[in-house]
Chain A
Amino acid sequence: MSTLELRGLTKRFGEIEALNAIDLTVDQGDFCVLLGPSGCGKSTALRCIAGLETITDGDVIINGDRVNEKTPKERGIAMVFQTYALYPHMTVRENLAFPLKMSKMPKDEMEKRVRDAASLLRIEPMLERRPRELSGGQRQRVAIGRAIVREPTLFLFDEPLSNLDAKLRNDMRLEIAALHRRLEATVIYVTHDQVEAMTLGKTIVVMNDGRIEQVGTPDEVYQRPATPFVAGFVGMPAMNFITGEIRNDAFEGNGFEIPVSVDHEGETLLGVRPEDINLGGDHGEGEVEIIENLGADRYAYLKETDTRKRWAVRLNADESVDVGQAVNLSFNVERLHLYADNRRLDVTSSS
């Protein structure tokens, strides 16, 4: 059974349409990441699911119940906020116990749950401290603990890691993944960070401008992006695009021709990832402007002399170029992405 279902979820703030008829189904035990640029509606969607925001149209269904009119508490959800939102005037123990106290749980059961959550998150030594005495990572753990104690049907995370520094973010990411495996909980996780989305998500929902662009596994989203937006948004550095035309089973653009076999003729957008471009060949040329060395990978950024078009290219281990050098490029023709009318063209076979 699906734990969460959104049917035509629409949210308007005055004239602004933040969510436009979202349909989504999330299964029990899924880790569903809502990914998108800021302002795409992902946080609004989460707040609508939580019941913190009224919805303009459509339905939110949790465990088969339509919960549109229910309060956050009645929905059986728990939420972790970007700012942690710990209660500063309460100790860690009181913070953890607060949601249980509000639901009038018997004292011994309450204490047991607080103890369990604290030991799971390794915050037992800090139970008597106040939030201001904790480090960022510890605060984050307490915030997650406060969500766990309620044993909710649905965990909602609103960019929980964006206030942490890079190293801590990595650690917490792994912890959240491990926690999800242990609790076998259903999670909706909002982020704009594609690394978080790719590593944590079982399902990624890419959103843009109040709509869902694609729902898929991390692999599907990366290997077969459904729209040009997804293709350009997922992947670092971003995919390279060339506008051209398909005629007589060949893509023409940028002064070259690649045979493709798709069910389409006319204007087409061709996308190619930096790792699918090799040095040498005749699909493009340019002068190296910048070389970025990330340790494991090196990327060269090129600019074409006459068209001023820019390229991002991942260098193979044995390839080396210098800034200012003119190079030719070729594509890995099995791994091209073709789009027309904002949708992906299925390549039936390639030669």
Chain B
Amino acid sequence: MRRVVFTIVIVAVVLFSIGPFMWILNTSLKSPQTIAERPPTIIPDLQTEFFAAAVDEHNFMRYVGNSAIVAGLTTLLAVLVGTLAAYPLARLRMPWRRGILSLVLAASMFPQIAIVGGVYRLLLKLGLLNTHPGLVLPYTALTLPLAIWILTSFFKEIPSDLEDSARVDGCGPLATMWRIFVPVAAPAVFTTAILVFIYAWNEFFFALLIMTDPAVQTLPVGIAKFPGEYMVPWGELAAAAVIATIPLVVLVLVLQRRIISGLTAGAVKG
């Protein structure tokens, strides 16, 4: 009985989450003829016309490229800086450690709308509007608090005995970092990377204001510009949404094994 209820609840939750995406996927695979049918058909007629249209007519792949560059650079930068900040925060005995962490967290508390004016003027002065760094910089700044917090708490879980042991075994600071700490901390780094990447991939508001030149616009902005003056191209929108989602799904699927494989399983009593 409990199993039945459990299964029903799980199915309901999964349907609730995945339903909208399935609908979009369904729409994207219809032909222009079936898309407007009422009542809508449940099984699509598996046409790829909309995908072709999205790619050809809307310059879609350029948006994908821009998004990949911006999200990729943001992830790289946030994880790199985050790791360098989190390691001492997790390891050193220093005063104000909590204070520093709270301050970092406080930086992420301001709503985007409250800081966008300042960010815009800064980027204007720096001449970074309509450039990839113009988005990478604010994205990195916005995701760093999250990255630092996640990494710090993960790093703290890694017993410092491991590093001591590496030193006794003959590792200098760099060898300790690269041969022991980084491989052990990899799940934490990947988890952080995924979260940052998803944020940068999906971000709309800053992207809309900072990137006015279509040549450098990212996916969310690109897709938002699909609707014309007189019509909404539902099919192309759906196809674009599906393409935009695929990289995230692939990324999570590829990395999830590494994330789930427990953090330090076996290093200490476990």
Knowing A52-B164, A89-B184, A102-B175 are in contact, say whether A83-B268 is a contact too (CB < 8 A). Answer: yes
Q: Which residue of A lies closest to B267 (CB)?
A: A88
Interface assignment of B262: CB less than 8 Å from any CB of chain A: yes
Q: Which residue of A lies closest to B270 (CB)?
A: A132
Q: Which residue of A lies closest to B180 (CB)?
A: A87
Are the C-beta atoms of B267 and A79 separated by less than 8 Å?
no
Are the C-beta atoms of B267 and A131 separated by less than 8 Å?
yes
Are the C-beta atoms of B267 and A86 separated by less than 8 Å?
yes
Interface assignment of A139: CB less than 8 Å from any CB of chain B: yes
Are the C-beta atoms of B265 and A132 separated by less than 8 Å?
yes
Instruction: Specify which chain A residues have a CB less than 8 angstroms from the CB of B269 in the assembled complex.
Output: 83-84, 136, 139, 163
Are the C-beta atoms of B266 and A85 separated by less than 8 Å?
no
Which residue, A47, A99, A146, has most C-beta atoms of chain B within 10 A? Answer: A99
Are the C-beta atoms of B169 and A73 separated by less than 8 Å?
yes
Interface assignment of A65: CB less than 8 Å from any CB of chain B: no
Are the C-beta atoms of B169 and A77 separated by less than 8 Å?
no
Are the C-beta atoms of A84 and B268 separated by less than 8 Å?
yes
Are the C-beta atoms of A86 and B171 separated by less than 8 Å?
no
- B266 is contacted by which of A72, A81, A134 (Cβ under 8 Å)? A134
**A88 CA to B172 CA in the complex, in Å?**
19
Instruction: Specify which chain B residues have a CB less than 8 angstroms from the CB of A146 in the assembled complex.
Output: 169
Interface assignment of B88: CB less than 8 Å from any CB of chain A: no
Interface assignment of A220: CB less than 8 Å from any CB of chain B: no
Are the C-beta atoms of B265 and A72 separated by less than 8 Å?
no
Interface assignment of B213: CB less than 8 Å from any CB of chain A: no
Are the C-beta atoms of B170 and A87 separated by less than 8 Å?
no
Which residues of A297-345 have CB atoms within 8 Å of chain B's CB atoms? none
Interface assignment of A103: CB less than 8 Å from any CB of chain B: yes
Instruction: Specify which chain B residues have a CB less than 8 angstroms from the CB of A254 in the assembled complex.
Output: none
**A77 CA to B171 CA in the complex, in Å?**
14
Instruction: Specify which chain B residues have a CB less than 8 angstroms from the CB of A139 in the assembled complex.
Output: 266, 269
Interface assignment of A199: CB less than 8 Å from any CB of chain B: no
Are the C-beta atoms of A79 and B165 separated by less than 8 Å?
yes
Nearest CB of chain A from residue B76's CB, rounded to whole Å: 23
Interface assignment of A98: CB less than 8 Å from any CB of chain B: yes
Nearest CB of chain B from residue A39's CB, rounded to whole Å: 16
- B161 is contacted by which of A85, A103, A134, A136 (Cβ under 8 Å)? A85
Are the C-beta atoms of B159 and A130 separated by less than 8 Å?
no
Interface assignment of B168: CB less than 8 Å from any CB of chain A: yes
Nearest CB of chain A from residue B53's CB, rounded to whole Å: 47
Instruction: Specify which chain B residues have a CB less than 8 angstroms from the CB of A72 in the assembled complex.
Output: 167-168, 170
Knowing A73-B170, A88-B265, A130-B266 are in contact, say whether A83-B175 is a contact too (CB < 8 A). Answer: no
Instruction: Specify which chain A residues have a CB less than 8 angstroms from the CB of B175 in the assembled complex.
Output: 102
Q: Which residue of B lies closest to A147 (CB)?
A: B168
Instruction: Specify which chain A residues have a CB less than 8 angstroms from the CB of B172 in the assembled complex.
Output: 71
- A50 is contacted by which of B168, B170, B268 (Cβ under 8 Å)? B168
Q: Which residue of B lies closest to A82 (CB)?
A: B161
Which residue, B184, B262, B268, has most C-beta atoms of chain A within 10 A? Answer: B268
Interface assignment of B66: CB less than 8 Å from any CB of chain A: no
Are the C-beta atoms of A83 and B267 separated by less than 8 Å?
yes
**A52 CA to B166 CA in the complex, in Å?**
11
Are the C-beta atoms of B168 and A79 separated by less than 8 Å?
yes
Nearest CB of chain B from residue A45's CB, rounded to whole Å: 15
Knowing A88-B267, A163-B269 are in contact, say whether A73-B168 is a contact too (CB < 8 A). Answer: yes
Nearest CB of chain B from residue A116's CB, rounded to whole Å: 18
**A264 CA to B166 CA in the complex, in Å?**
54
Interface assignment of B183: CB less than 8 Å from any CB of chain A: yes
Interface assignment of A78: CB less than 8 Å from any CB of chain B: yes
Are the C-beta atoms of A85 and B171 separated by less than 8 Å?
no
Are the C-beta atoms of A133 and B167 separated by less than 8 Å?
no
Interface assignment of B162: CB less than 8 Å from any CB of chain A: yes
Are the C-beta atoms of A103 and B168 separated by less than 8 Å?
no
- B167 is contacted by which of A71, A83, A86, A132 (Cβ under 8 Å)? A71
- A131 is contacted by which of B166, B180, B183, B266 (Cβ under 8 Å)? B266
Interface readout for B179-203 with A: 1 if CB under 8 Å, 0 if not?
A: 0100110100000000000000000
Q: Which residue of A lies closest to B165 (CB)?
A: A85
Residues of A participating in the B interface, judged by any CB pair closer than 8 Å? 47, 50-52, 71-73, 77-79, 81-89, 98-99, 102-103, 130-134, 136, 139, 146, 163
Give 16 pairs: A residue, B residue, CB < 8 Å, sorted on A: A51-B168, A52-B164, A52-B168, A72-B168, A82-B161, A83-B159, A85-B164, A85-B268, A87-B180, A87-B184, A88-B264, A88-B266, A89-B186, A98-B169, A131-B266, A163-B269
Q: A85-B159, A131-B267 are in contact. List 9 more A-B contacts (CB 8 A).
A: A72-B168, A73-B168, A79-B168, A83-B161, A87-B165, A89-B184, A99-B169, A131-B266, A163-B269
Closest 5 CB pairs of A and B: A132-B266, A131-B266, A102-B170, A85-B165, A85-B161
